[in-house]
Structure 1
C-alpha cells in the first residue's frame, strides 16, 4: 500500500471510530490542525494515526500525561478518543482548562 492510500485508510478508520461513538459528546479539534493520535497519554508514546482537518472527536475519559502547549493553551490532560488512542487536550476545544470527563482507569 502506498503512503497516500495508507493515510486515506487511516482517515477512514478515524471517521468510523468517531461515528461509532454517536452517544458521546464530540469536541472540535483546533482549526487547521492535523492532530497526532498517540497510543498513550504523552508525547513519548508512538503516533498511531493523524486526524484529518476540521474533525470532532469523542472524549471517553481523560488522563494526565506530558504537558503540551497547543492552540488552546498549555495542558497535561490527554483525551482518550478510542481504544489506545489519545490526543492532547491543548488541541481540543472542550470549553474548559480542566477535566470534563472521568479519569481513565
Structure 2
C-alpha cells in the first residue's frame, strides 16, 4: 500500500462544473497534499497533487486498492473530476461507506 500524499499543486478547473451540478464538496485531510490518480488505485499514475486544505467534489465512487489514511482503511475511491480519483481514506465524508453513486 502507498501513502496518498506528496508534492505539487491543486487545481480548480472543475469548480464551475461543481457549482452547476450542485454536487457537494468534502474536505481533504488537514496537513496532507493529496495525490490525484488516473484510476481507483495506487498502481495508477499520479495526475496532479492537491494542496493542503483542498475541498473536493465526489461525482461517484468505486472500489479499488485498499488504502489506510487519517479517516480509516478503505477500498473506496472518489471520482473528483473526469478520470481523476483520490482515496476516500483522505476525504472527510463523515462515514465509512459510500456517499455518492457507484461509478459506471
What is the TM-score with the length of structure 1 in the denominator?
0.86
Q: What does residue 48 of structure 1 align with?
A: 47
Q: Could you report, residue by residue, the CA deviation over 1:3-40 in whole angstroms, capped at 9, with x for unpaired residues?
A: xxxx5xx53xx212234312110000000000000000
Mapped partners of 2:83, 2:14: distance in 1: 12
Mapped partners of 1:59, 1:98: distance in 2: 13
Instruction: Give ranges in structure 2 of 5+ residues lacking alignment.
Output: 1-7
Q: What does residue 79 of structure 1 align with?
A: 78
Give the number of the structure whose residues are more often helix, by fraction: 1
Give the number of the structure whose residues are more often strand, by fraction: 2
Q: What does residue 17 of structure 2 align with?
A: 20
What is the TM-score with the length of structure 2 in the denominator?
0.87
Equivalenced residues, count: 95
* Contact 1:39–1:84 under 8 Å retained in 2: yes
Mapped partners of 2:42, 2:15: distance in 1: 22
Q: What does residue 69 of structure 1 align with?
A: 68
Provide the aligned C-alpha RMSD in A. 1.1
